[in-house]
Structure 1
Amino acid sequence: MKELQDQDVVYEISRKNSPVVHADDGELVLFHTQDCYKNMVTNENAAMSEQFPDETPNNPATGPVYINGAQPGDVVAVEILDIRVQDHGVVENGHNHYPLAADQERIRILPIHNNTVTFHDVTWRLEPMIGVIGMPADNDEPMPTMCVFNGGGNMDNRRITKGATVYLPVRVEGGLLALGDLHATMGDGEVCGTGLEVAGEVLVRLHLIKNFALNWPVIETKTRWYVNTNGKTTDEAIRAGYKEMRRLLANAYGWDDADAAIYMTLRGYVEACQACLVPGAGGNSMRIGTPKLADHKPLITKEN
């Protein structure tokens, strides 16, 4: 097993990043992560600017990992075996470009106990997830870890949790995988701009799939497949996801585009990941889904 510490971080997903470790196909990798505020926000009653100044980089992603044998045109499948989070998380409201932003800044630091969190008198079970996971895009432009793009990044997709597998297109030699920005719990849309931001650790197994065309990240859960996309508008992101899901269905099941589209109109899902209207961060992040069928070939298989 390979292990990365929470100081092994990047703030851009880029082909220029030097790998922290090299991992083989099928190998376990343990990522230790900071929260999106670099673990610096510790006081509900102090201003955010005092604890985390505006010029401070955020969303540290642990990595990157070089996957031996990965070449452009391949796919890396990241099988999420476990996510463990620390005993408290931070949620914030107060930036005026979010849909439900408050007029006055507010910070809540919520304790985590027995895999639950309590807000006022409401208690619920955690659903720990990975906010940032990705590999470099198909150009030379580094992507800040605040951004979502066609290599992943800040997807803030709450389906990326224990038991899921994330399929990422390889566009540079070795893939260069990084992940971080854990949330102990987060609602669809992340409408205040944050989930329950938390430090923790993620255990994954890496699988290398050779020569598979993938235009956007794909997430496999126990019951569904999702294509994760983004766009300047929600419509643009949804349209891109529909087209990629149609292509994958047609390829896997031997259908033509017309029948794949008919299937999507009968059994498709449209869900919001990050729809908090963050300027300059890649636009809204959406996921387009379809059911997994036990008696059909999977859209993507982890076997080479």
Structure 2
Amino acid sequence: MLTLKKFVYSFSKDNPPEAHACSGDVVQFISHDCFEGQIKSEADHEENIDFTHTNPATGPLFIEGAEPGDVLAVDVLDVDIADQGVILTIEGFGALWSTCELRTKMIDIKDGYAHFNDVKWPVDPMIGVIGTAPAGEPVPSGYSFPGGGNMDSRLIRAGATVYFPVQVPGALLAMGDVHATMGDGEVCETGIEIPAKIIVRVRLIKGFTLNWPVTETKDFWFVNTNGRTCDVAIQRGYEELQRLVMNAYGWDATDTTMYLSAQARLEANQAVLDENETDEEGDTFRVGVPKLASKPRLIG
């Protein structure tokens, strides 16, 4: 099995690929935690972090035959995490920062559970950063954009498939920023940040228009979008989901809108409730509909 270990700090068409793969190949990505191992103990806080070395994304992987206008499907087969992670507050970040102080907690992972103070819960590893390269300017791997990036969706985990628009030859897939668990919204700007081994299968879908990444779970389709405000991100999600449902089901815009009003799900990926200066720095949301056995798939 092909294994990737090198990493980048941005999604860019100029990043040299670490390796090449073909559609259908299974590939392993070795990922750091989002702080690249800079947090060694609970005595380390924000001031100990070099933020130019955060959110490293392993890769990129060049997919043979991938061209702009295609879609890259990434089947997440396994996310194998380390036995210790970290969660910390960052000054000025998150909806509740005004009630907090700087604090770091090392979180032990034992027998499939995360241990926090006097409680524990099952781990549910997810990939925070994953995407393909943009055709335009590079996007830092801590930000999100129409090719993916730092979407921080807890649904991007083993068993899910994520579909990405291909914007440059080879797609240039990279990923990292695994969390042992993360709540919707990531309210203090960190989940349980942890190193991991990620195993995926890559599949190429030729000639399919996709404007934003889509996550397919067992029962749902979710469009992932971003925006400088929550409202902008949500609007973009509804618009792309409406387009996909109309194309797949053959309904007009009005019937599709009514269906979404009755059946859609709206969930936060990362939403810190501040207005941001650029889309890439902004909130990320997912907007979804149930999968229907009686109707065509939205993708593929």
Q: Above 0.5 in TM-score?
A: yes
**Alpha-carbon contact 2:79-2:197 (below 8 Å) kept:** yes
CA gap of 1:227–1:47, structure 2 versus 1, over 3 A, is closer
**Alpha-carbon contact 1:74-1:169 (below 8 Å) kept:** yes
Q: 2:254 aligns with which of 249, 252, 258?
A: 258
Q: Which runs of 5+ in 2 are unaligned?
A: none
Q: 2:119 aligns with which of 122, 127, 133?
A: 122
- Give the CA deviation at 1:120: 1.3
Q: 1:291 aligns to what?
A: 290
Following the alignment from structure 1 to structure 2, what is the Cα–Cα distance between the partners of residues 277 and 178? 27
**Alpha-carbon contact 2:13-2:172 (below 8 Å) kept:** yes
Number of corresponding residues: 296
CA offsets 1:175-225 (integer angstroms, 9 cap, x no match): 000000000000000010000000011100000000000000000000100
**Alpha-carbon contact 2:31-2:197 (below 8 Å) kept:** yes
- Is the partner of 2:172 in helix, strand or coil? strand
CA offsets 1:78-126 (integer angstroms, 9 cap, x no match): 0000000000111001321311225421000010011111111211101
- Give the CA deviation at 1:226: 0.2
Q: 1:282 aligns to what?
A: 281
Higher mean alpha-carbon deviation, 92-101 vs 231-240, is at: 92-101
- Give the CA deviation at 1:48: 3.3
**Alpha-carbon contact 1:94-1:103 (below 8 Å) kept:** no
CA RMSD of aligned residues (A): 1.2
CA offsets 1:129-158 (integer angstroms, 9 cap, x no match): 0000011224x2000001011110000000
Q: 1:89 aligns to what?
A: 85
Q: TM-score by structure 1 length? A: 0.95
**Alpha-carbon contact 1:168-1:214 (below 8 Å) kept:** yes
**Alpha-carbon contact 1:277-1:283 (below 8 Å) kept:** no
**Alpha-carbon contact 1:96-1:103 (below 8 Å) kept:** no
- Give the CA deviation at 1:257: 1.4
Q: 2:10 aligns to what?
A: 12
Following the alignment from structure 2 to structure 1, what is the Cα–Cα distance between the partners of residues 218 and 117? 32
AA partner of residue 121 (structure 1): D
Q: 1:104 aligns to what?
A: 101
AA partner of residue 250 (structure 2): G
Higher mean alpha-carbon deviation, 103-112 vs 124-133, is at: 103-112
Are 1:174 and 2:148 matched, yes or no? no
Following the alignment from structure 1 to structure 2, what is the Cα–Cα distance between the partners of residues 46 and 114? 26
Following the alignment from structure 1 to structure 2, what is the Cα–Cα distance between the partners of residues 172 and 186? 31
Following the alignment from structure 1 to structure 2, what is the Cα–Cα distance between the partners of residues 103 and 156? 22
Are 1:34 and 2:50 matched, yes or no? no
Following the alignment from structure 2 to structure 1, what is the Cα–Cα distance between the partners of residues 39 and 50? 10
- Give the CA deviation at 1:295: 2.1
Are 1:48 and 2:50 matched, yes or no? no
Following the alignment from structure 1 to structure 2, what is the Cα–Cα distance between the partners of residues 46 and 234? 32
- Is the partner of 1:175 in helix, strand or coil? coil
Following the alignment from structure 1 to structure 2, what is the Cα–Cα distance between the partners of residues 97 and 197? 16
Q: Which runs of 5+ in 1 are unaligned?
A: none
Higher mean alpha-carbon deviation, 209-218 vs 40-49, is at: 40-49
Following the alignment from structure 1 to structure 2, what is the Cα–Cα distance between the partners of residues 110 and 100? 21
